[in-house]
Amino acid sequence: MTLNIRRRTAPPFSSQHFSDKLCEILASRGVSDEQEMQYGAGNLLHFNQLNGIERAVEILLDVKATEQSLLIVGDFDADGATSTAVLTLGLAMLGFSNVNFLVPNRFEYGYGLSPEIVELALAQGAQCIITVDNGISSIEGVALAKQHGLRVIVTDHHLPPESLPNADAIVNPNLSDCQFPSKNLAGVGVAFYLLLALRAEQEKRGVYADQTITKPNIASLLDLVALGTVADVVPMDRNNRILVHQGIQRIRSGRCRPGISAILQIAKKSAHELQASDLGFVIGPRLNAAGRLDDMSVGIRCLLEEDSHKAYAIAAELEALNQERRQIEQDMQQDATIVMEQMQFSDQQRLPSGIALYQPDWHQGIVGIVAGRVKEKYFRPVFAFASQDDGLLKGSGRSITGLHLKDLLEEMSQRYPGLLKKFGGHAAAAGLTIAKADFQQFSDVFEQLCAESLDENALQQVWHTDGALTQSELDMQFVQTLQQAGPFGQAFPEPSFDGVFTLEDQRIVGAKHLKMQVRHEQGMLLDAIAFNVDLEQWPNSKARQVQLVYKLDINEFRGRRSLQLIVDALAAQ
């Protein structure tokens, strides 16, 4: 067996500070000179290019002046939680006093500013609503709020529908008439930019002129901005890399929110050596566990808490929820594996171009993770569904390169009116609601549309790497150089490499991880680990050589630091 590998290649740009190999790696990600790797906060794009932001600021300052009740309506994922926390903290820093937040419970109300959420807002006495990380599709909810005399500001980053809600102001870089150069801001990034604009306008109006009121440091919230940006897996363009870099620097230096410190402490992760991937794989899942299983307000309280002891107690709640989430996920993955095996795919009956899965006892909050796992294993777009109480199914989807999931759902909605009750999302991930009775039709239509959009080449998993490394490049200094070149993430991938190694030793650790010792062709012996391997294939006593796609890492064990290969894919040779 041989892995399907394509090596990224680009002529390296010249640099006095970076090695030729690093310049080649960065050039293959669109970097043309070392100036683009300058991540000082002064290099951020200016907020004045965001359409609607001036109007939003005007409304908010009027709300402040008249002491109206302002309600932040967030979302139940990590981006929504960090967005809510950033706006809550930032508005307090800017002198707002009558501010509350509300995050819909995904099991009772679903996503966004729905009419039901507006009713709750009215019951709480809200006079102005501002959404974060949602609202761009909330036409009915905004209309109801307006009918009751509420002002509504929508801040969002999701792709807009053809018709927009009748809000008093909309700030979304993905609006067709918005000139903001980065369309990739997460919801938390939009919230952060709104705070920058608010502070600038207050400064313009002389709020800080006599120095009796200190000009707030909005940059102190960048740890939360970095967390939400990475956790939402938005493309890591230069502007997002600046936001994330600045946030990571705050966390490493110990200047982050007590809640973030507490989550890292419980996860036994060093803040001083934090990488962008840790935001996505360590903090993000623990924060998301609250929204998946319970109530995201638990996660938001953790981020807002000022007392380190109280923050630790809430972080412990999140850890317990995350452990529960892992167990539920494991059970659902086993169910999904059984369902896929029962389909008995063969050469005559090939794997469908798109996969839809449903089990009556699946958990609504976990179906997105299951869809992602099945997508990774079979390299197909996948939707996984769970039941609601009202004859409806809630689905979450994950896509592969070459298929824009939100666009596919738009096409499905037009071709089959009424099949989709609600839907929304991005290119790589989307959510929807269908009638339980329509699951088979959805499955058939989804497979059909995927087949129309994806040819055989698109359905073959390709591993993109930065080539092979010489023995002299396999050292700790090169690893540290790569880490310093980050942050890496979506559309700016962490460097990965490939090669064929002699397999010297192999054993299973932690029940499902393959620990190996491999020898480089030039003689160096290296430690390597592949997580969650197929136990029917590994360990492989017949394998003498192994082809690896891997990343470089520094392993710490009992105070000893050593080079380790983190294996993304492997094949016996």
193: confidence class by pLDDT, cuts 50, 70, 90:
very high
DSSP letter at 76 equals S
Q: What is the DSSP letter of 283?
A: I
- 42 Cβ neighbours under 8 A, 6+ residues apart: none
From CA 77, how far away is CA 366, in angstroms rounded?
12
pLDDT in tens, 407-461: 999 999 999 999 999 888 788 889 999 999 999 999 999 999 999 999 888 888 8
Query: Judging by DSSP bridges, how do beta strands 429-435 and 513-519 pair with one another?
Result: unpaired
115 and 161 together in one domain: yes
The reply to whether 15 and 147 lie within a common domain is no
Question: E strand or H helix at 527, and its extent?
Answer: strand 525-530
- 39 within domain boundaries: no
Residues 22-48: tens digit of each pLDDT: 999 999 999 999 899 999 999 999 999
> 169-171 and 151-155: which strand pairing?
parallel
pLDDT (average), residues 478-506:
94
559 assigned to some structural domain: yes
Angstrom distance (rounded) from CA 122 to CA 150: 9
CA–CA gap between residue 539 and residue 238 (Å, rounded): 41
The pTM (predicted TM-score) of the whole model is: 0.91
Say how far apart CA 383 and CA 423 lie, in whole Å. 12
Cβ(290)–Cβ(106) under 8 Å?
Answer: no
Residue 407, SS3 per DSSP: helix
b (16+ CB within 10 A) / e for 303-316 = bbbeeeeebbebbe
Instruction: Based on the fold, state whether residues 122 and 270 are members of the same structural domain.
Output: yes
Token pair, residue 479, equals: 């690893």
Residues 57 and 137 in one domain: yes
Given this model, what pLDDT does residue 43 score? 96
Q: What is the 3-state composition of the chain as percent helix, strand, coil, each rounded to the nearest 5?
A: 40, 20, 40
- Does residue 347 carry a pLDDT above 60? no
Q: What is the CATH number of the domain that holds 125?
A: 3.90.1640.30
Residue 430 shares a structural domain with residue 472: no
| Domain identity same for 474 and 395 | no
Question: What is the per-residue pLDDT for 340?
Answer: 87
Looking at the fold, whether 214 and 118 belong to one and the same domain comes out as yes
Q: Which of 459, 490, 519 is the last residue of a domain?
A: 459
Query: What tokens were used for 274?
Result: 């934090």
Alpha carbons 441 and 458: distance in angstroms, whole number: 24
Identify whether 161 is preceded by a cis peptide bond (ω within 30 of 0).
no
State the Cα–Cα distance between residues 116 and 124, nearest whole angstrom. Answer: 13
Question: Does a structural domain hold residue 82?
Answer: yes
pLDDT digits (tens, 9 = 90+) for 80-121: 999 999 999 999 999 999 999 998 877 677 678 999 999 999
Distances (CA, A) of 214 to 43, 197, 206, 346, 358: 24, 17, 12, 69, 55
Beta bridge partners of 171: 155
In a domain, 35, yes or no: no
Confidence of residue 245 (pLDDT cuts 50, 70, 90): very high
Residues 163, 282 share a domain: yes
* β partners of residue 508: 514
What's 388's domain CATH number? 3.10.310.30
Same structural domain, 240 and 104: yes
Look at residues 166, 164, 136 and name the one whose alpha carbon lies nearest to residue 151: 166
Q: Is 68 part of a structural domain of the chain? A: yes
State yes or no: pLDDT of 76 exceeds 50: yes
Q: Where are the beta strands (DSSP E) in 375-512?
A: 382-387, 392-398, 422-425, 429-435, 463-465, 497-509
Taking all residues of the chain, what is their mean pLDDT, rounded to a whole number? Answer: 93
Q: What are the tens digits of pLDDT across the range 306-337?
A: 999 999 999 999 999 999 999 999 999 999 98
Residue at 37 is within a domain:
no
Long-range contacts, stretch 472-481, CB < 8 angstroms, 24+ apart:
473/21, 474/520, 474/524, 474/526, 474/552, 474/563, 475/563, 476/554, 476/561, 476/563, 478/21, 478/552, 479/552, 479/553, 479/554, 479/563, 480/554, 481/19, 481/22
Cα of first residue to Cα of last residue in the chain, in angstroms, is 6
> How open is the CA angle 161-115-325, to the nearest 5 degrees?
80
Domain coverage including residue 156: 47-318
How far apart are the C-alpha atoms of 227 and 292, rounded to whole Å? 17
> pLDDT, tens digit, for every residue of 507-563?
999 888 999 999 999 999 999 999 989 888 999 999 999 999 999 999 887 778 889
Last residue of a domain, one of 459, 479, 497: 459
Residue 51 has pLDDT above 80, yes or no: yes
Domains in the chain, number: 3
Cβ atoms of 117 and 131 within 8 Å: the answer is no
What is the CATH number for 13?
Answer: 2.40.50.460
In a domain, 267, yes or no: yes
Q: How far apart are CA 102 and CA 462, in angstroms?
A: 42
> Is pLDDT of 564 > 60?
yes
How far is 394 from 367, CA to CA, in rounded Å? 9
296 and 383 assigned to the same domain: no
Q: Is 404 helix (H, G, I), strand (E, B) or coil?
A: coil
Residue partners of 28: CB distance under 8 A and separation at least 6: 8, 9, 10, 466
Q: Quick one: 162 and 194 in the same domain?
A: yes
Nearest Cα neighbor of 486 from 219, 222, 248 is 248
The widest CA-to-CA distance across the chain, in whole angstroms, is: 79
Of 428, 459, 490, which residue is a domain's last?
Answer: 459
d(CA 231, CA 292): 14
Q: Beginning with the edge strand found earlier in the chain, give each strand of the sheet holding 429-435 in spatial order.
A: 355-358, 382-387, 392-398, 429-435, 422-425
Would residue 344 count as lying in a domain? no
116 and 203 inside one domain:
yes
pLDDT over 60 (residue 221): yes
Q: How far apart are the C-alpha atoms of 161 and 410, rounded to whole Å?
A: 9
Report whether pLDDT(227) > 90: yes
Residue 267 pLDDT exceeds 90: yes
